Amino acid sequence: MQMQKDVHLTGSDLTQMVQLRPQDVGRCAIVPGPRDRLEVLLKKLESPVRNFSFMEYTMYTGTYQGMKVTAMNGGRFSTDTSITTEVMCNAKIETIIRIGTCGALAENIKIGDLVIADKVIRGDGVTPYYVESGFETRADSRVSDALLETARGMGVTVHRGTVWTTDALLRETRQLVEAKRAEGAVAVDMVSSSLLTIAQTYGVKAGAILAVSDNVITGEMGFMNPSYYMAESKLIEIGLETAKKLNA
């Protein structure tokens, strides 16, 4: 028996299933990975309305200083992030700002610093289904420039460069890490590849700014470090102010 259509379920199908329409969302979406960071973000919005809740992902739209903005927990890993990014792109959101976390791949990048992804080395298992191996995954330069300007204006230490995305957290071997550093990676995460690649395929502007939670080179872990939690909360402010700047 032949399949009834070329793809069993598309991003458009899923967006219709959750009854999300372009008029329901803001021009810009701010996307943390976990739900707890989303809840902190929602406290910054005026009158947030829940657009939908699907599995463990929830989208809200409210206002920030008079600007309509959408917020969603996009997922912690490439697979779930691909689903939520498809929904946002099919809802015709114009700009997506990821506020996430990463591990540093350079000794001079400290716990609590921020990293802006200019481009991504794809080590995830999702994007090979979307693009050819030679495809260059890049953040939108205008979004990255605005993130950098905003972060520096808040006095935050921020780095900018290539991020390596991997699906195998516990297989970040010394050999593999050194190979990615040789390719120019300054940080590693588990999300940016799928979000930025899929946004690119839809022509949606997207960027990613990440708080450093640990340093893979020195072995330092920052999950009990106040600097990390301060950076994590700063991400929300940077995301909102950048959205305002881009919508001006």
Chain-centre distance of CA 92, in angstroms? 17
Residue 127 lies in a domain: yes
Cα–Cα distances (Å) from 116 to 181, 238, 245, in that order, read 16, 12, 17
Residue 8 lies in a domain: no
Residue 208 — very low, low, confident or very high, per pLDDT cuts 50/70/90? very high
Residue 10 lies in a domain: no
Residue 205 belongs to domain with CATH number: 3.40.50.1580
Lowest average pLDDT, out of 130-139, 208-217, 223-232, 236-245, goes to 223-232
Quote the pLDDT of residue 7: 85
- Ramachandran assignment for 203, one of left (phi > 0), alpha (psi -120 to 50 degrees), beta (any other): left
Q: Cβ distance 206 to 139 under 8 Å?
A: yes
CA distance 121 to 165: 6
Residue 54 — very low, low, confident or very high, per pLDDT cuts 50/70/90? confident
Q: How far apart are the first and last CA of the chain?
A: 53
Residue 7 lies in a domain: no
Residue 16 lies in a domain: no
Q: Is 16 helix (H, G, I), strand (E, B) or coil?
A: helix
Residue 161 lies in a domain: yes
- Residue 183 pLDDT exceeds 80: yes
Length of the chain: 248
- Residue 185 pLDDT exceeds 90: yes
Residue 183 lies in a domain: yes
The angle at the Cα of 120, spanning 33 to 40, to the nearest 5 degrees, equals 20
User: 200: Cβ–Cβ under 8 A, 6 or more apart, which residues?
Assistant: 137, 138, 206
Residue 86 — very low, low, confident or very high, per pLDDT cuts 50/70/90? very high
- Tokens (6 digits) for 85: 């990014």
Quote the pLDDT of residue 1: 66
CA distance 184 to 49: 41
Residue 193 lies in a domain: yes
Domain count, the chain: 1
For residue 73, what are the domain limits? 22-247
